[in-house]
C-alpha cells in the first residue's frame, strides 16, 4: 500500500495572491479613497465561494481621503486583517489619527465598513489638544470624532483663567452675609 497524502481541497489554505512592497491607491466609484502601504500583502480565497481575507502580517499604513482628497483618517498597525471585504481587524501597536488631530493608541481595533463604526475592548489612550483620556471598551463612529470610552480616567488641564473665575465666585460668596434678614 502506498502512502499518499490527501489532496488539498480547501481554497482558504492556499494563497490567491502574495505581494511584497505594496504602495497602492484604492478607489470607490472612480474616486480615490484610500492609500495603503505595506511590506507584504496576502490574499486568501474563501471556502465555498465566500469572500476573501486580506492579511498584512508585517504591518499596514493606510490613509483615507475625503471628497477633496484631504486625509481625514490615518491608520497604522503592526498586523491587519480585512475579513469579507468589510471588517478590519487591526492588532499590535495600533495608531489612528482623525481629521481633528486626535490620536488614538491601542493594541486591538475593529472597524466595520458596513456599519461605519470602530470599537476595541482593549486598553486605549486618546490624546487631544485639550485632554488625555485612557480606558477600555471603546466605541466610535467611523470618523473617530464621536466616541465612548468605558472605565475611563483622564487629564484635563485647568488654565489660569479658569482658576481666576473659580476664585472670583468664591470671593463673591464670601462677601454675602451668611444670614440676611429684612
Q: Could you read off the pLDDT of 101-157 as tens digits, one per residue?
A: 999 999 999 999 999 999 999 999 999 988 899 999 899 999 999 999 998 887 767
Output the pLDDT for position 16: 81
Which range in 48-52, 123-127, 162-166, 176-180 is most confidently predicted, on average pLDDT?
A: 123-127
Residue 20, pLDDT > 80, answer yes
Render pLDDT for 45-62 as a digit per residue (tens, 0 to 9): 766 556 689 999 999 999
β-strands 53-56, 124-127 pairing: unpaired
Q: How far apart, in Å, are the Cα atoms of 179 and each of 31, 70, 170, 171, 176?
A: 71, 62, 17, 17, 9
Output the pLDDT for position 174: 42
Q: What is the dihedral of CA 117, 71, 124, 78, to 10 degrees?
A: 100
β-strands 79-83, 53-56 pairing: antiparallel
Q: How far apart, in Å, are the Cα atoms of 4 and each of 7, 8, 9?
A: 9, 12, 15
**Distance from the Cα of residue 139 to its chain's centroid:** 10
Buried b (16+ CB within 10 A) or exposed e, 57-88: eebbbbbbbeeeeeebbbbbbbbbbbbeeeeb
CB 37 within 8 A of CB 25: no
Q: What is the mean predicted confidence (pLDDT) over 54-78?
A: 94
Rg (alpha carbons) of the chain, rounded to whole number = 25
Query: Can you give the pTM of this predicted structure?
Result: 0.76
Residue 175 phi/psi, 5° resolution? -70, -20
Amino acid at each position: 500500500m502506498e502512502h499518499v497524502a490527501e489532496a488539498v481541497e480547501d481554497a482558504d489554505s492556499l494563497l490567491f495572491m502574495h505581494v511584497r512592497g505594496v504602495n497602492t491607491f484604492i478607489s470607490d466609484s472612480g474616486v480615490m479613497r484610500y492609500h495603503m502601504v505595506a511590506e507584504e500583502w496576502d490574499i486568501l480565497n474563501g471556502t465555498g465561494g465566500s469572500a476573501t481575507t486580506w492579511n498584512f502580517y508585517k504591518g499596514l499604513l493606510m490613509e483615507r481621503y475625503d471628497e477633496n482628497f484631504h486625509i481625514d483618517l490615518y491608520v497604522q498597525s503592526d498586523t491587519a486583517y480585512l475579513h469579507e471585504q468589510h471588517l478590519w481587524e487591526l492588532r499590535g501597536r495600533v495608531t489612528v489619527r482623525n481629521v481633528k488631530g486626535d490620536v488614538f493608541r491601542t493594541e486591538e481595533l475593529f472597524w466595520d465598513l458596513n456599519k461605519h463604526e470602530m470599537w476595541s475592548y482593549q486598553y486605549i489612550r486618546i490624546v487631544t489638544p485639550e485632554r488625555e483620556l485612557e480606558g477600555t471598551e471603546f466605541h466610535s463612529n467611523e470618523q473617530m470624532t464621536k466616541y465612548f470610552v468605558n472605565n475611563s480616567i483622564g487629564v484635563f488641564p485647568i488654565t489660569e483663567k479658569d482658576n481666576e473665575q473659580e476664585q472670583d465666585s468664591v470671593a463673591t460668596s464670601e462677601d454675602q452675609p451668611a444670614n440676611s434678614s429684612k
